[in-house]
Chains A and B, each alone.
Chain A
Amino acid sequence: MIIRQAPDLHGSEITPRSAYVSRRGLMVGALALAALPSTVRRAEAALPNVAKSPFVLDDKRTPLEDITHYNNFYEFGMDKDQPAKRAPGRLRTRPWTVRVEGECGKPGTFDVDDFIRRSALEERVYRHRCVEAWSMVIPWVGVPLGPVLQRFDPNSRARFVAFQTLFDPQQMPEESSRLIYPWPYTEGLRIDEAMNPLAFLAVGLYGDILAPQNGAPIRLVTPWKYGFKSIKSIVSIRFVEQQPPTLWNTVAPSEYGFYSNVNPTVDHPRWSQAKERRIGEFFRRPTLMFNGYGEQVAGLYTGMDLKKYF
Chain B
Amino acid sequence: MGAEDRRRHFLRPVVHLLCLLPLLWLAVQGTLGGLGANPIEAAVRFLGDWALRLLVVALAVTPLRKLAGLPELARYRRMAGLWAFAYASLHVSAYVVLDQFFDWATIGHEIIKHKFITAGMAAYTLLVPLAVTSTEGMLRRLGGRRWRRLHRLVYLAGPLAALHYVWMVKADIRQPLVYAALLVAMLAYRAVSALRQKEAAIQSR
Contacts and interface: CB of A to CB of B under 8 A. Distances in A.
Is B a genuine binding partner of A? Answer: yes
13 contacts: A23-B33, A27-B32, A69-B36, A80-B36, A80-B38, A81-B36, A180-B172, A270-B114, A270-B116, A272-B106, A272-B114, A280-B37, A282-B101
A151 interface: no
B122 interface: no
A279 B37 contact: yes
B171 interface: yes
Given A271-B114, A274-B106, A27 B33 contact: yes
A271 B172 contact: no
B113 A267 contact: yes
Given A27-B33, A271-B114, A277 B40 contact: yes
Given A70-B37, A180-B172, A275-B106, 9 more contacts: A69-B36, A78-B172, A251-B171, A267-B114, A271-B117, A272-B106, A280-B37, A282-B98, A282-B101
B41 A28 contact: no
Interface in B1-53: 32-34, 36-38, 40-41
Contacts of A28: 32-34
Contacts of B114: 267, 269-272
Which of B33, B101, B103 lies at the interface centre, i.e. has the most chain A CB atoms within 10 A of its CB?
B33
Given A27-B32, A271-B114, A180 B37 contact: no
A252 interface: yes
A65 to B, nearest CB: 8
Q: Enumerate the 4 nearest inter-chain pairs by beta-carbon distance, A residue then B residue, closest first.
A: A70-B37, A66-B37, A24-B33, A180-B172
Contacts of B34: 28
Contacts of B109: 272
Contacts of A134: 38, 41
Interface residues of A, number: 30
A177 B119 CA distance: 30
A271 B110 contact: yes
Interface in A35-85: 65-66, 69-70, 78, 80-81
Contact of A252 (B33, B98, B106, B171): B171
B126 interface: no
A284 interface: yes
Contacts of A280: 37
A301 interface: no
A80 B36 CA distance: 9
B100 interface: yes
Interface in B61-105: 98-101, 103
Which of B37, B40, B98, B109 lies at the interface centre, i.e. has the most chain A CB atoms within 10 A of its CB?
B37
Contacts of B32: 27-28
Contacts of A70: 36-38
Contacts of B172: 78, 180-181
B110 A272 contact: yes
Contacts of B99: 277
Contacts of A251: 170-171
Interface in A261-310: 267, 269-272, 274-275, 277, 279-280, 282-284
Contact of B101 (A180, A267, A284): A284
B155 interface: no
B36 to A, nearest CB: 6
Nearest to A67: B37
